[in-house]
Amino acid sequence: MLDAERQSLLRKLPAVDAVLRGPAARLAERHGRAATAAAVREVLEGLRREIASGGSPDVSGEAVAGGAARLLSGRGLRRVVNATGVVLHTNLGRAVLSEHAAEAAVRAATRYSNLEYDLSSGRRGSRYDHAVPLLRQLTGAEDALVVNNCAGATLLALSALAGDGEEGPPEVVVSRGQLIEIGGGFRIPEVLELSGVTLREVGTTNRTRLSDYERALSGRTSAILWVHPSNFEIRGFTEAVGVSELATLGPPVVADLGSGALMPVGGEPLVQTAVREGAELVLFSGDKLLGGPQAGIAVGSARLVRRMRRHPLVRALRADKLCLAALEATLRAYLEGRAEEEIPAQRMLREPAEELEARARRLASSVARAAPGLEVEVVPSVARSGGGTLPGHEIPSRAVRVSGTDPEALAARLRDAEPPVVGWVHEGSLLLDVRTLLPGDEEAVVEALRGAVRG
């Protein structure tokens, strides 16, 4: 391209202010003037580079505003409507807090609290003490500790055990069937290495017997680690040893449960059962089946919990006050028998398909009215627990199926709505599962589809 043409295109680039007052005015209302201005500048910068390297892009104010809108829509944490039917959707924030838990977090955030203050003595207290009585009561364990997440709890527990070997470097015995990767790169063998303990593998991928464990024990054994293979299942010729049998062997059993169910759901191991069966430490997540905030919870013997609490890593893994407040409120719901109706994850996992049918019908007829031209019907669907819990467990559910248009294009438009709606494309249609819709989400789905057909 000639220099003159290049210069002329560069001169045509609109001024930031002009875009903000004109085509990006609505955008600035939605995202704030400062953020929108920054996005507009970024788009203009990109256009300048493109022109400099010989391109001739659209330099209209509308094009610049469109580019800024695309930048802004992908940025910042926003509310999203989860119509995937995956209850603990890791990419969509895993567990949704109950109203009570959210209120408790807001209170802790906007007021001072006795986070590390003992109100009876007027002296320094510990943030780790608040949830302990609740966790003891719920699980039957002697003591408890809450850290940032279950990955952290596992790292801390194993690190705290690393000093336990009597003859040389301490060993932790694990079945080869439980050397898993949880997701996000969290692999049990690597965590063991990081903790300074030696991994002693026993058994095979599909079969491990009690005698395999027995043979591996020595004076160096600091613990037997039992890991819940959370996100996959082995079927067929399999054999595994449960916590109760392992507890007869002598060394402390550390059970990494992950999912953290306090109430029966789909055969997931219960925390209180692992405690009763003799695990000296049980580790689980706060935002999986428990349905609370992101947290890693360790319950178990006073001896091992004390060691975890005294380990230097605890400071690096500590849970913040918002999390602790929300967790306390979540645990209280279980203790008071309100969890099934109060905790969103529990409610969603348990809602019978017949009730969903009624909700799906209402939604389908609202959608049909708002978006004429689309084919809308209620269909049976399969919801899932997600978040590395209940693998392969299919929950009968109901979805609104939208067809009569390109499903991928429709899905993209719904993701572009405010709030974005995330469904899933299945066999040439877009499915919107109602199991994971929260109060107010139905209206958002209807509006998103209304906007999508209007173009």
Ligand X SMILES: *Cc1c(COP(=O)(O)O)cnc(C)c1O
> CB-wise, 138 or 182, nearer to ligand X?
182
**Judging by DSSP bridges, how do beta strands 221-227 and 253-258 pair with one another?**
parallel
Half-sphere exposure of 372 (CA within 13 A, CB side): 1
Residue 348 DSSP SS3: helix
> CB-wise, 159 or 285, nearer to ligand X?
285
> CB-wise, 20 or 182, nearer to ligand X?
182
Q: Which class for 324: exposed (0-12), middle (13-18), buried (19 or more C-beta within 10 A)?
A: buried
Minimum Å distance from CB 98 to ligand X?
18
Minimum Å distance from CB 182 to ligand X?
4
CB environment 241-264: b (16+ within 10 A), e (fewer): bebeebbebebbbbbbbbbbbbbe
| Residues ≥6 apart with Cβ < 8 Å to 193 | 199
Minimum Å distance from CB 220 to ligand X?
24
267 phi-psi bin (left φ>0, alpha ψ -120 to 50, beta other): left
Specify whether the CB–CB gap between 417 and 448 falls below 8 A: yes
Minimum Å distance from CB 125 to ligand X?
26
> CB-wise, 294 or 397, nearer to ligand X?
294
CA 270 vs. chain centroid, Å, equals 19
Rg, the chain, Cα only:
27
Minimum Å distance from CB 377 to ligand X?
36
Minimum Å distance from CB 227 to ligand X?
5
For ligand X, the nearest residue by Cβ is 258
> CB-wise, 387 or 423, nearer to ligand X?
387
> CB-wise, 176 or 415, nearer to ligand X?
176
Residues that bind ligand X (CB under 6 A): 149-151, 154, 182, 186, 227-228, 230, 256, 258-259, 285, 296, 388
Minimum Å distance from CB 283 to ligand X?
7
User: What CA–CA distance (Å, rounded) separates 140 from 279?
Assistant: 12
> CB-wise, 164 or 256, nearer to ligand X?
256
